[in-house]
């Protein structure tokens, strides 16, 4: 039982406590020794956007992030590697004139995306090169797959078949991992089978296993141009991306991707889905990735610009939470900034 002794002075007031957890918080040295979660540069994957414009194009809704032509992309990859970032994930931004309903540029062996992959792998071979895979950057309607004749449904099996062909093309041109982000049923199995059939057994699959139909993707859709193609930031992908209300369903998706041959399972978004990251972490022995998405990045910047939040502290706290929830690797637009801060 706690008793309060009669003090002679205020500083002599003492509770009779056996355990005082604050003893392990009293100095930077102690806090460092007992810290349970540590962020390191090796935790991060930097997303990068590619453009055919001759100069970098700033993305207004994502402060500090630009679409990069290949020459600037190579310089950025070299800089990231020098800072200790070990992996990047690439996203294409196509001229609208190249888009069509079938997303045919996705299978163009001389597309801007393929040229960029070849260039990065040649210039910075030590960097793990991940190619995002979905059809929304290539389609005139902005969806991640092929629509039926009436434009009312995304066709699952046709879209997954195209994704498998796309994976082979990307791997043959130098990417180390493919990252299917479309959420079509069975696409991981189709991709693994196609890669193995083409003797690409060492190409890894980073599966967007639990990708939710989130409201946090708006700035990203600006970045890749799918919002422009669709004519709205609010394009509904509810028929293939997951319902934000569902938790158990994430485990169904993750287990299916594991069975079909995924090497890494990913949860997207990260910040609003820490419980999902923990659920997946506790149900698989595979590495778990989490994507701190564009909306999470943008809202921290916006609040900091208004003076409402401290950018650096909120940036680190948000990333610590993602790692603490169980993520082994984090895709984040803050990756470069964190590498600089951790030097």
The CA distance from 45 to 86, in Å, is 7
CA atoms within 13 A on the CB side of 192: 17
Does 268 qualify as catalytic in the annotation? yes
> Considering only CA atoms, which of 187, 224, 184, 179 is closest in space to residue 205?
179
> Helix H segments across the chain?
28-34, 70-82, 112-123, 156-172, 187-197, 218-224, 226-230, 248-260, 274-283, 294-305, 311-325, 335-341
- Give the C-alpha separation, 178 to 140, whole Å: 23
In the numeric block, which tokens belong to residue 30?
């102690």
Angstrom distance (rounded) from CA 62 to CA 295 = 8
Catalytic residue among 99, 268, 323, 336: 268
Q: Are strands 146-147 and 154-155 parallel, antiparallel or unpaired?
A: antiparallel
Q: How far is CA 297 from CA 71, 250, 276, 334, in A?
A: 25, 23, 19, 7
Active site residue 71: no
Angle value at C-alpha 148, between 142 and 151, nearest 5 degrees: 55
- Exactly one of 211, 237, 323, 336 is catalytic; name it: 211
Just list the catalytic residues.
211, 268
């Amino acid at each position: 039982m706690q008793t309060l002794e009669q003090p002679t002075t205020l500083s002599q007031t003492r509770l009779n406590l056996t355990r005082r957890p604050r003893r392990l918080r009293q100095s930077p040295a102690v806090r460092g020794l007992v810290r349970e979660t540590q962020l390191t540069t090796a935790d991060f994957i930097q997303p990068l956007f590619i453009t055919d414009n001759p100069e970098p194009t700033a993305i207004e809704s994502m402060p500090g992030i630009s679409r990069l032509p290949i020459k600037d992309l190579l310089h950025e990859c070299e800089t990231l590697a020098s800072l200790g970032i070990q992996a990047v994930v690439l996203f294409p931004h196509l001229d609208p004139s190249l888009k069509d309903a079938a997303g045919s540029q996705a299978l163009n062996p001389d597309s801007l995306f393929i040229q960029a992959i070849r260039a990065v792998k040649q210039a910075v071979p030590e960097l793990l090169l991940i190619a995002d895979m979905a059809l929304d950057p290539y389609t005139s309607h902005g969806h991640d797959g092929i629509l039926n004749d009436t434009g009312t449904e995304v066709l699952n099996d046709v879209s997954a078949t195209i994704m498998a062909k796309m994976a082979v093309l990307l791997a043959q041109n130098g990417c180390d991992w493919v990252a299917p982000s479309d959420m079509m049923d069975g696409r991981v199995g189709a991709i693994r089978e196609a890669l193995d059939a083409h003797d690409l057994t060492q190409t890894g699959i980073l599966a967007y296993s639990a990708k939710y139909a989130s409201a946090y993707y708006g700035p990203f859709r600006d970045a890749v141009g799918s919002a422009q193609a669709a004519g709205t930031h609010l394009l509904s992908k509810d028929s293939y991306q997951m319902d934000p209300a569902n938790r158990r369903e994430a485990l169904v998706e993750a287990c299916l991707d594991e069975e079909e041959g995924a090497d890494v399972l990913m949860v997207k978004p990260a910040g609003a889905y820490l419980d999902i990251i923990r659920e997946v972490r506790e149900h698989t022995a595979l590495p778990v990735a989490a994507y701190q998405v564009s909306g999470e990045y943008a809202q921290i910047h916006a609040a900091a610009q208004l003076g409402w939040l401290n950018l650096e502290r909120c940036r680190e706290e948000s990333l610590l939470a993602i790692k603490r929830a169980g993520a082994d690797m984090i895709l984040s637009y803050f990756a470069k900034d964190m590498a600089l801060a951790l030097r």
